[in-house]
Structures are given as C-alpha cells and as structure tokens.
Amino acid sequence: MSKLSLGCLLFLSLFISACNEPSKPAQTAETEAQTEVPKKQPMKTEPACSITMGWDPWEPYMYLMPGNKVSGLDVEIISALAEEADCDLNFVQDDWMSLLQKVENGEVDMVAGASITEKRKKYALFSEPYRRESFVMYVRAGEQDNFSDNIKSIASAGKTIGLTTDYIYGDQVSNLQDSPDFAKQFVYSPVGEANFYNLLQHNVDVVVEDPFVGAYNLKRKGLSDQIDQLDITIHSGDVHLMFSMQSVDHTTVASFNKALETIKANGTYQDILKKYLL
C-alpha cells in the first residue's frame, strides 16, 4: 500500500472518531438565568374585619399614654381579642353618652364595659360577658377588725359609707341607698380619689370602690400603707362589648366570643387582670 493510501486512511479514521464524540452544550449566562425558578413573594392578607372602638377615659380601664396611645385594662383585653379574631382595631374618644348615640347611629362600631338593657337591645349586639364588675371596701389601715363581713351589717352598725356619684353598685347597695333607714349614711364624691381623701380625714368610715380603680389610685397616690381592703366583695353584674347593629354583623360578634374563649384558655386574659391588680 502506498504512503498516500495510508495517509488517507488515517485521516478518515480521525474524522469519524471526531464525528462520533458527543458535543457538550455551552453554558451561557443567559441559559443559566432561564433555568432559575423565581421565588414566590408571601401574600399579604387583609384582616378579617375592622372595628372602630369608642372609648371614654376611666383609669385604669382606659386612658391615654404619651404618644397618644390608648391603653388600660379593658383596652388590653379588647386588643388581645381583636388580634385573636384577626380584626383591625381603631379608637375614637368621646364622652359615654355621645358614644352610645354613635353606636346607635353606626358611627362607632363598638364600646366596652356595657350592661345589657332593653333599650340598648334595639340598636346593639352584645358579646358574652368579658368581665364581671364588682366592688370592694376600703378602710383605714389597722381598722379591719372593726367591720363585719357585709355592707348591710356595716350600715346597720351606723358606719358612714363613701360612694362615687352616679356609679351603679348593684342591687345590694342600691337597696340600702333607697332605704330611709340607711340613706343618710352614704356620703358621695364626684371621683374615687375624693372618697379616699374623705376616708383619711375621718369624714367616712369605709369606701366602696372598683378593685382595679382602687388599686390604681392607692398606688399612684402612695396611700397603700394607709388604707387596707376588707375581704368583702359586692357583685354588681357582668359587662359586655356592645356592637352597633348598623355596622357590625353577628359573625364578627361570634368571632370576638370565640377569641374570648381562646385568651381565657391560654392564660392571656388572666395575665392582663393580674397586671392591673398590682
């Protein structure tokens, strides 16, 4: 075989081998970019409802903090309920009578600390009771042994009793207030702080006050070592959230009731109460 023929055979062999070798696609920046899976952005969900709550200052249940932040025992409870119910909560301040009118008209969605009456049932929906309203009795430090175990016995013993004007204390107290035998023993003050002043000045023998309001005022005024609480509780009734029929439906009320069950079961409710009993 000639050298030319051998050369041709060698060239053909190399050519065939090159053709049979698989080719590798070039990895370009454009190809890599096309193969990347885009990350999904988390969806922003809207709250299930939006509630405008009317509030009237009453420490420690509702009050304004620096920065115009509304706080207090009731505010914390209701904020916890709104969060659990996935409901946006806003606040509008006004006096109590104006707020009731706004609930009736649908200008305000909800108020707290409400008692159920036949008149209010015509324009409002009510939650389950979220707090039981009660009162306790305070005396000067060291005098606890001078008082019996109920308010009627204390009144019968001729003791003078300090009350706050226009408070609703429940049937037990109102029956004594209306009785000709005991009516003159009640001394009224426009605010609870004045009752404690009267107590220390011996103008009254005992003061009836909301336990949270009493604890708050005694600590704020530095009177905790001068005034003691008797082991007597006067129940005046349950309080509810009151929702406007004009702007709130039964589903929203039900969601707040369910939220109340939840925060009582997980301890949130009890933690808030303990915080304000100081």
The predicted pLDDT at position 38 comes to: 56
- Same domain? 272 vs 140: no
pTM here? 0.73
The single-letter code of the amino acid at 109 is: D
- Same domain? 70 vs 103: yes
- Same domain? 229 vs 157: yes
Torsion of CA 102, 89, 119, 117, to 10 degrees: -150
Is 157 contained in some domain?
yes
Residue 223: which residues within 8 A CB-CB, separation 6 or more?
A: 196, 200, 217
Alpha carbon distance 263, 271 (integer Å): 10
- Same domain? 169 vs 219: yes
Is 14 contained in some domain?
no
- Same domain? 128 vs 243: yes
- Same domain? 222 vs 103: no
Is 161 contained in some domain?
yes
Is 34 contained in some domain?
no
- Domain with residue 229: its CATH number is 3.40.190.10
Nearest to 95 by CA among 53, 61, 52, 54: 54
Is 40 contained in some domain?
no
CB 138 within 8 Å of CB 228 = yes
Is 220 contained in some domain?
yes
Nearest to 60 by CA among 152, 131, 149: 131
Q: Which residue range(s) make up the domain with 166? A: 133-236
Alpha carbon distance 54, 9 (integer Å): 100
- Same domain? 110 vs 157: no
Per-residue pLDDT 10s for the chain (278 aa) are 444 444 444 444 444 444 454 444 444 444 444 555 555 565 657 777 999 999 999 999 999 999 999 999 999 999 999 999 999 999 999 999 999 999 999 999 999 999 898 999 999 999 999 999 899 999 999 999 999 889 999 999 999 999 998 788 888 999 999 999 999 999 999 888 899 999 999 999 999 999 999 999 999 999 999 999 999 999 888 999 999 999 999 999 999 999 999 999 999 999 999 999 86
The predicted pLDDT at position 24 comes to: 47
- Same domain? 125 vs 163: no
- Same domain? 113 vs 177: no
- Same domain? 85 vs 137: no
Alpha carbon distance 181, 171 (integer Å): 16
The single-letter code of the amino acid at 224 is: S
Number of domains in the chain: 2
Give the CB-side neighbour count of residue 132, counting CA atoms within 13 A. 5
- Same domain? 114 vs 247: yes
Residue whose token pair is 């107590």: 199
The predicted pLDDT at position 32 comes to: 47
- Same domain? 118 vs 58: yes
The phi, psi pair for 160, rounded to 5°, reads: -90, 140
The predicted pLDDT at position 123 comes to: 97
Is 9 contained in some domain?
no
Is 138 contained in some domain?
yes
Residue 69: which residues within 8 A CB-CB, separation 6 or more?
A: none
